[in-house]
């Protein structure tokens, strides 16, 4: 297998939750934005940018940004703005915008923004296309009922914009382009590496397979992630594509410390707050009408959605990709995951919830200096 690749992913949460925040059923969609203090927000951006620039200096292969709306979970409502601020500071690492839900943008405009980032970074951009969580549909004036259809058409427009010399035309259900001819065009040819990111809806996997895109499952148990990777490989073969290991980013949560006790002591409280407070949503927010098929809805209704509220560290770290401990333990876990999942692409969240700056810096430093070398020398295949 090709050498492992390491990403540092960040959510850039707004960490100053009000004392009484537990009184709010969710911290998404209708959580009052009066609780956002821009002065504190400014300080947080400074810290988070510092962390991602440090990731580059420490030798991480990529930094990863993403988009969410109306929530403390993320201060990256528009990640391309954040990416453009980071590009001049992040000198070697690839810049992953994973990503903007195309449904909330005009597709030509998103194609342009990504092309600009790719040209500015001299071909270091990578893109993931999320449908957008249910919460984003409550927060944007776009119908969840036709979301999947629109998503598909947006991707078609963007790929056409990047791969066919313009001007071209597009007459679709949602968009009409008489002159699709965006300037600039991407630095990488035919376009930056593309992934689809999601929680494993069959429709989404099928689309990734059809387009030969990578796929990153997020917030699904290990067992499901394994099945999804296999399904993508199988379905991609059906469309004449071969999925390479690097096309299967493995989202995981990592905290490294000197001892196991220290790692758990320093980390678990933040991970707990991440799930209980920052990811606190509701069934209504997660599945607006038409966002999932009736079949999927019934599956969701039958089982409770553990990833959004409710926390049991042992249970969670047993079924999801969470590595907390000494460098050796973390390296072993990641090596095993990579082998089992058939990937060499390790996408690690190095900062969660209200983790203070020093812990994030220490975590990334120990990871870069003591975990990455162990895995790079082993080549990932154990």
Site string for other proteins, 283-302 (x = CB under 8 A): -x--xxxx---x--xx--xx
201 touches other proteins by CB under 8 A: no
Query: H-type helices in 87-146, by residue range?
Result: 107-120, 134-139
Q: CB–CB of 6/335 below 8 Å?
A: no
Alpha carbon 293 to chain centroid distance? 23
Beta bridge partners of 254: 323
Sequence-ordered strand ranges (E) for the chain: 5-9, 62-65, 94-98, 125-130, 168-171, 176-180, 194-198, 214-217, 250-256, 322-325, 345-349
Distances (CA, A) of 127 to 15, 333, 334: 27, 27, 23
Q: Which is nearer to other proteins, 144 or 380 (CB)?
A: 144
The answer to whether residues 24 and 34 touch, using CB atoms and an 8 Å cutoff, is: no
**Which among 45-53, 140-148, 316-324, 330-338 is the span making contact with other proteins, rule CB under 8 A?**
140-148
Which is nearer to other proteins, 31 or 195 (by Cβ)?
A: 31
Closer to other proteins at the Cβ: 184 or 289? 289
Count Cβ atoms within 10 A of the Cβ of residue 180 and give its class: 0-12 exposed, 13-18 middle, 19 or more buried.
Answer: buried
Judged by CB under 8 A, the chain residues 120 through 139 that form the site for other proteins are 138
Residue 381: which residues within 8 A CB-CB, separation 6 or more?
Answer: 1, 338, 339
Tell me, by CB under 8 A, how many residues bind other proteins. 18
* Closest distance of CB 55 from other proteins, Å: 39
Which one of the spans 231-239, 268-276, 281-289, 348-356 is the region binding other proteins (CB under 8 A)? Answer: 281-289
Task: Give the nearer residue to other proteins in terms of CB position, either 89 or 176.
Answer: 176
Minimum CB distance to other proteins, residue 284 (Å): 5
Among 47, 59, 119, 146, binds other proteins (CB under 8 A): 146
| Residue in 47, 84, 143, 272 binding other proteins, rule: CB under 8 A | 143
Positions in the binding site for other proteins (CB under 8 A):
138, 141-146, 282, 284, 287-290, 294, 297-298, 301-302
């Amino acid at each position: 297998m090709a050498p492992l690749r390491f990403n540092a992913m960040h959510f850039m949460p707004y960490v100053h939750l009000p004392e009484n925040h537990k009184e709010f059923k969710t911290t998404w969609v209708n959580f009052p934005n009066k609780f956002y203090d821009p002065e504190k927000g400014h300080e947080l951006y400074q810290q988070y940018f510092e962390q991602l620039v440090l990731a580059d200096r420490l030798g991480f292969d990529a930094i990863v940004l993403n988009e969410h709306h109306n929530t403390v979970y993320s201060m990256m409502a528009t990640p391309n703005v954040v990416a453009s601020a980071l590009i001049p500071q992040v000198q070697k690492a690839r810049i992953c915008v994973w990503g903007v839900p195309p449904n909330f943008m005009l597709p030509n405009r998103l194609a342009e923004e990504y092309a600009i980032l790719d040209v500015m970074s001299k071909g270091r951009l990578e893109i993931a296309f999320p449908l957008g969580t249910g919460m984003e549909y409550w927060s944007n004036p776009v119908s969840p009922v036709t979301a999947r259809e629109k998503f598909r058409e947006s991707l078609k427009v963007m790929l056409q914009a990047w791969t066919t010399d313009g001007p071209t035309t597009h007459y679709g259900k949602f968009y009409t382009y008489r002159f699709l001819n965006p300037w600039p065009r991407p630095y990488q040819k035919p376009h930056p590496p593309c992934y689809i990111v999601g929680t494993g809806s069959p429709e989404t996997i099928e689309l990734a397979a059809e387009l030969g895109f990578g796929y990153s499952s997020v917030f699904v148990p290990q067992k499901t992630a394994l099945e999804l990777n296999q399904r993508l490989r199988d379905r991609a073969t059906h469309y004449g594509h071969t999925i390479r290991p690097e096309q299967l980013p493995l989202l995981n949560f990592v905290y490294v410390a000197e001892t196991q006790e220290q790692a758990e002591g320093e980390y678990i409280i933040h991970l707990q707050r991440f799930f209980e407070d920052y990811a606190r949503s509701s069934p209504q927010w997660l599945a607006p009408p038409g966002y999932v098929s009736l079949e999927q809805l019934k599956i969701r209704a039958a089982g409770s959605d553990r990833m959004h509220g409710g926390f049991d560290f042992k249970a969670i770290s047993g079924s999801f990709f969470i590595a907390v401990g000494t460098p050796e333990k973390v390296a072993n876990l990641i090596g095993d995951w990579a082998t089992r999942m058939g990937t060499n692409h390790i996408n690690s969240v190095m900062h969660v919830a209200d983790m203070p700056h020093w812990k994030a810096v220490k975590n990334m430093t120990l990871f870069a200096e003591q975990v990455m070398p162990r895995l790079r020398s082993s080549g990932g295949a154990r």
